Amino acid sequence: MTPATMKLVTIIAEHVLREAITADLKRLGARGYSVGEVEGEGTRGVHAQDWQGKNVRIETVVAPEVADRILTHLAGTYFHDYSLVAYATTVEVVRSQKFA
């Protein structure tokens, strides 16, 4: 099989956003996603996970145009009011028909 070039969109967000963001991903064209709890430190210091829950890392593999839609939506909807980081990485995917 020849790999296809796609985008891996990675989102690190407050736990409270998990359901909203995963619903957004499906609505914007993602066919699936993976979610895991993460912890770390950023410009605002260590996250207060004891009462808010750990941050979540949400990842999805999508076509480049879907990645653009997702990043644009996240920036316009969440960046102003929530602690959230999102980025896209170019990846080579085998069985790309599962993602497009």
31-51 confidence digits (pLDDT tens):
999 999 998 776 665 555 544
Q: CATH code for 4-92?
A: 3.30.70.120
Average pLDDT value for the chain: 89
Beta bridge partners of 9: 60, 88
For the chain, domain boundaries: 4-92
92 phi and psi, to 5 degrees? Answer: -105, 120
pLDDT in tens, 66-91: 999 999 999 999 999 988 999 999 99
Q: What's the pTM value of the predicted model, to 2 decimals?
A: 0.87
Coil, strand or helix at 18? helix
- The C-alpha torsion from 8 through 3 and 97 to 36, rounded to 10°, is -30
Instruction: Give the model's pLDDT for residue 99.
Output: 72
Residue type for 29, please? G
